Every structure is written in structure tokens, then in C-alpha cells.
Amino acid sequence: MKHFLLNRSGVVLLMFMQTVIMAAEIPSPLNDPELKNRTKDDPRVRKYVLPKRIVWQSTGEKQAVENPQTLLEARSGQVTLDSHSPCVLRNNGAAPGILLDFGQELSGGIQIMAWTMDGSRRSVRVRVRFGESVSEAMSELGGEKNATNDHAIRDEVTLVPWLGTQEIGNTGFRFVRIDLLEENSYVELKSIRAVFVYRDLEYRGSFTCNDERLNQIWKVGAYTVQLNMQDYLWDGIKRDRLVWIGDMHPETMTICTVFGKENIVPASLDLVRDETPLPNWMNGISSYSMWWILINRAWYQYQGDSQYLQTQKDYLLQLLDLLMANISPDHAEHLGGARFLDWPSSENEKTIHAGLHSLLIMTLEAGAQMCGILGETAKQEQCLAAAQQLRQHVPDAGGSKQAAALMVLAGLADAAAMNQSVMAVDGAARMSTFYGYYVLQARAQAGDYQGCLDCIRQYWGAMLDLGATTFWEDFNLEWTANAGRIDELVPEGKKDIHGDFGNYCYKGFRHSLCHGWASGPTSWLTEHVLGIKVMEPGCKVIKIEPHLADLQWAQGTFPTPQGILKIKHTKQPDGTIQSEIEAPQGVEIIKPN
């Protein structure tokens, strides 16, 4: 028998050699090309957020909550053996609960960190309820107020380990209620932190003016869309976590205004294209296939990416053929699939027809523009001829602001006349968060910039007055009468603005309070108050024509593929506007006469 004597360095060398041999035999998944082809990096980041305040806690000997304010303190993210100043939940026959406010709408879940608990247990069951409003977080599933787990689980039971952490949740929320369910037990909590999952993006665009209400509305619209920029571009962070193509149009305009060229837009366009073989309509809705074309045109106009536009060519040409096949002999649209503009107009067939007819004209003209860029001149002429054919039929808007706006934008109706007779009537009444953007665009075309600013302040501002930190799926000014705020327990005698209202698919707590299609004022304020109008693809030519209305000054930035455009407008004593413009190289600026 031979004996080998190794000193300490020799043992280390031998262990190192064995490790190298084992590593050579077992390839790392990180270097597996097949795995890389089947996965993609997640562009999102995680951030821990502390609660800002305790909204509510249970009281009484049977359901005691001790030292809750400690949950608001910044502590390390590591459990230790020293349970220093814990928040203690004690279940002495009834479940104790606590309701936390994280200060603003977030996407993600929470992390619960526990020290010790009842000595006979190594874990305890807790119930976690997420809410976009206080009342939703305090609700039971079902019932008249329609709390649900649709699209994202926001009400469930989980185990919290002894001397450990548990992460739970993947939804949209601001408020979280925690209840200890184990009878005759207690748990010492070190912390409860939100796990915020989002894209950490630079706000390359900006807007400020002398009206802080408008400044806040611009920012809230931008943040609403940012939350919905997850792996793809969603419409709602709690509910409607889907790529709804029509809803993407206002979101895309906000992204172009605030963030610039972000791959999430083409990725989402491609996802729905690839999962919608023709002759099917995108999301089952004919108007949404039209919005797909309009988004592609807008994306090209702002970003100038001809290479990406080329990848859409085959599908685009076939979709244009399908749309042109849906023109009847009397020159009117007769589109199939679900016939939808927005929810408030969904029961008015006259309005829907007027809107779809107008959208089809806009879509064919946008398609013609892209066909010209792609060198498809024959298809371009065919689209223009079909659009002209449609112009021979002028539908009735049916008194709808939505349909009236689309008719103006399609050139089927006089903007000033339609504004006076329909769109400006009763201010922000009978608006919708989705089509409110197009109403603003049409009213701007009528030159009613003051009316637009008043509408934005009244309609979107009213959501802020009720505690909103993101804009909602829908909103009606009539709901505000005697309504409580979303960040308070509903006072006796008050209406629950979240649970008592809503319609169609968004009744009660199913109503999303963070919907990207509601972000229209963000891009509108940049385009019309700062006056930034993209005239040539890729922002190579931008026209600057500000409309301050009752504002004294406004300034901001705008992202172009060439760099950041900086602008400031100041109203002079004689009413004229002095403008300071700093444009990046490669961007030609056209100033008004």
C-alpha cells in the first residue's frame, strides 16, 4: 500500500482539480445554447417598498395587534435571532388583521418576514388581501361588490415560516391586509415589504407648467403606462393583464412621449399578429385589427424604423385586403367580429357604426401611407380609392362624443361644428377614459384648447381628488357625488367609489384602477400645449406650435431618435408666446409664422 502525504495547499489543489473536472463534465445551464434559445432575459427589476401608513388594525383581546408602527421602519432584509421590537399579531380566538398603505399603485406582491411564533408551530397560516382601494383590500370575494381573483390572485391564504420569509402575490395593488388565521397563536413580524416588479425606465420626456394639477395628471398618466409595461404591454396591472391591441394605441402614444423607443411596443404588436392568423380579428374585435395598423403607422412616424416596418409587410397587405372586403355596395363599413369602440358606447349601434366607419377610413389611409414607404404602390392606390369610396357615406354620430371625435379625425365632419353640438356639451360628462383621448384630439382640431384643458382638469383630475395614483379603466363624473376616497375606509353615509360603481365587465371591485388606455392626457399635453408635432418619420422634422390657453408658461422635453428636444414657452404681457427651443442635431424645427 502506498501512502500519500499532502499538506494543506496540496489538499486545496486536489479539490480544485476535482472541481474543474466535475465542471467540465456537467455543463452550466447558463451556457446551454438550446436553453438560451427557449428563454429571454426579463427586462423588469425588483424593488422593496416599505408601507407608508397603517390604515386600519383590529382591536380587542381576542384579535390583538401590537406595535404595528414598527412595520413602517426601514430594516434589513435578513431574519435574525434577535426579535427586536416586532409587530405581533395574536389570535386569541379571532383573527387579528392589519391594513397597510404602500403610498401608490404598485405591481408585484409582498414579502412577509417573521421572527418567532407559537412554540408548537413552525409556520402559521395568514390570509393576504391585495387591493387597489382600501375597500377592495377589506372585501370578501364575490357578493354585490364583485371582488374577484380574475387575471391575478389577490386574495389567498399562505404559510409564513418560523425565522424566515415568504413572498406572495403577483397583481396590481396599493393596499394589503394581513390576517393571522391560526387560532390560539401569535406571530412576530419583522417586516412586510412590497416586492415592486417594474421596468426601471428613464423619463426622457417631461412636462411642467404653472398649473400643478396638469403637471400631476401628466405624471400619473406616464406612471400608469409604466406599470403596465411588464413582459408585454398590458392594459391593466390587476385585471386585463393582456395585450389588447386597441387599448395599446393611447399607451403607445404615451410611450413615444415619455420613454421613446422601447422594444415592448413592437414585441406586443408582433405577439398578437403571430397569434391572430387571418382572416381572424385581433382579440376577436374588428376595430382592434384596425388599431394594429394605426399603431404601426404611429410607431414608424415617431421612431422611423423602416426595418421593423418591413417585417410587418406581408401581414399588413393581407389585413388591408380583408378590411377592404368589408365595404358594402352602399359605401358603408360592414365589419364582422365583435363590433366595439369602448364600453360606454357599446349599446349604441348607430354610434358603433359611425365609429367603425370612421376608423376604417383612417386605417386605410394609414395603410396607404405605409404601402408607399414599402414600395407597394398598387396597394397604396387601392387603399386610397377604398377610403374615398367610404367618404361617400356619412353616418350619424348618434350624439356620441366617441363617434363624433372619430368622424372629425377621419375628416367626415367639421371639427368646430361637431365640437359645439356634441363634444363640448356638458364639459367632461359622458366621457370615457379610453376614448377621452380622441375626444381631446378632435376638440384640439376645432381649436378648443381651453375646453380641452378644462376637461382634463375636471375629468382626470377628479380621479386624483379621490386618491388615485394611476388612472382607471373607466370613470363617470356622476359617481363622485357623495363618494369616499379610495385611500380611506368608506365613511358611514358615503358611497364606495370602487365597490358601488362600474358597468359591463368592470362592475364593483373587478373595476381596474390602473388601466393604460386612460393615459391620453400625457401625450396630448405634450403634443398640443408644448406644441410638438412630428411631421416626418423618425422625428426628422418637428413643428412647434404651442397652445397655452389660460396657462402662463409651459416647458418640457421630448425624446426623439436623435436625442432630447427641450422646449419652453412663456406668455408675454401682450399675449404672444416667447419660445426657447433646443433641438438635437438632425432634427429640423418648423416654427409657426
Written as nine digits, the cell of 313 is: 409587410
Interior angle at CA 341, CA 339 and CA 342, nearest 5: 120
| 3 state DSSP class of 492 | coil
On whether the CB atoms of residues 295 and 305 are closer than 8 A, the answer is no
Strands 541-544, 588-590: pairing is parallel
Q: What is the reported pLDDT for 16?
A: 40
Secondary structure of residue 166 in the 3-state scheme = strand
- Alpha-carbon dihedral angle through residues 62, 63, 64, 65, given to the nearest 10 degrees: 180
Handedness of CA 270, 228, 223, 220 (dihedral sign): positive
Q: Which residues contact 488 (CB under 8 A, 6 or more apart)?
A: 55, 134, 467
Is 495 contained in some domain?
no
In a domain, 497, yes or no: no
Identify whether residues 36 and 140 lie together within a single domain: no
Say if residue 427 is exposed, middle or buried (CB neighbours under 10 Å; 0-12, 13-18, 19+): middle
Q: Which of 41, 142, 47, 51 is nearest to 99 (CA)?
A: 51
Contacts of 380-385 with C-beta under 8 Å, sequence gap 24+, read 382/320, 382/324, 383/320, 383/324
- 422 in a structural domain: yes
- Same domain? 191 vs 93: yes
> Three-state SS for 447?
coil
Structural domain contains residue 259? yes
Do both 52 and 136 map to the same domain?
A: yes
Q: Quick check: is 406 in a domain?
A: yes
Question: Are 294 and 308 found together in one domain?
Answer: yes
Single residue among 147, 171, 198 that ends a domain in this structure: 198
Burial per residue of 112-131, b for 16 or more beta-carbon CB atoms within 10 angstroms, e otherwise = bbbbebeeebebbbbebbbb
265/262 Cα distance (integer angstroms): 6
* C-alpha closest to that of 232 among 280, 199, 194: 199
What pLDDT is attached to residue 4? 34
Residues 521 and 454 in one domain: yes
**Residue range(s) defining the domain that contains residue 382:** 206-473+512-571
Q: Which of 149, 182, 198 is the last residue of a domain?
A: 198
Residue 550 is classified by DSSP as: T
Whether 578 is covered by a domain: the verdict is: no
Same domain for 160 and 294?
no
CB crowding 567-591: b at 16 or more within 10 Å, else e: bbbbbeeeeebebeeebeeebebee
Residues of the chain with pLDDT under 50: 1-24, 35
Q: What is the CATH number of the domain that holds 109?
A: 2.60.120.260
Nearest to 188 by CA among 133, 126, 132: 126
Is there a single domain that holds both residue 382 and residue 525? yes
Identity of residue 470:
T
- The pLDDT value given to residue 131: 98
Same domain for 448 and 418? yes
Q: What pLDDT is attached to residue 347?
A: 92
CB-based burial label for 21 (10 Å; 0-12, 13-18, 19+): exposed
**Is 311 exposed, middle or buried (CB count within 10 Å of its CB: 0-12, 13-18, 19+)?**
middle
Q: What is the dihedral of CA 273, 349, 429, 394, to 10 degrees?
A: 90
Q: Where are the alpha helices (DSSP H) in 211-285?
A: 212-228, 248-258, 264-274
Q: Does a structural domain hold residue 119?
A: yes
The verdict on 18 and 128 lying in the same domain is no
Query: Max alpha carbon distance in the chain (Å)?
Result: 107
Supply the pLDDT for residue 185.
Answer: 93
Same domain, 389 and 419: yes
Q: 85 and 35, same structural domain?
A: no
- CA angle, residues 240, 280, 377, in degrees to nearest 5: 115
Residue 156 CB neighbour total at 10 angstroms:
13
Count of domains forming the chain: 3
Helix or strand holding residue 319 (H, E): helix 313-324
Judge whether 588 lies within some domain.
Answer: no
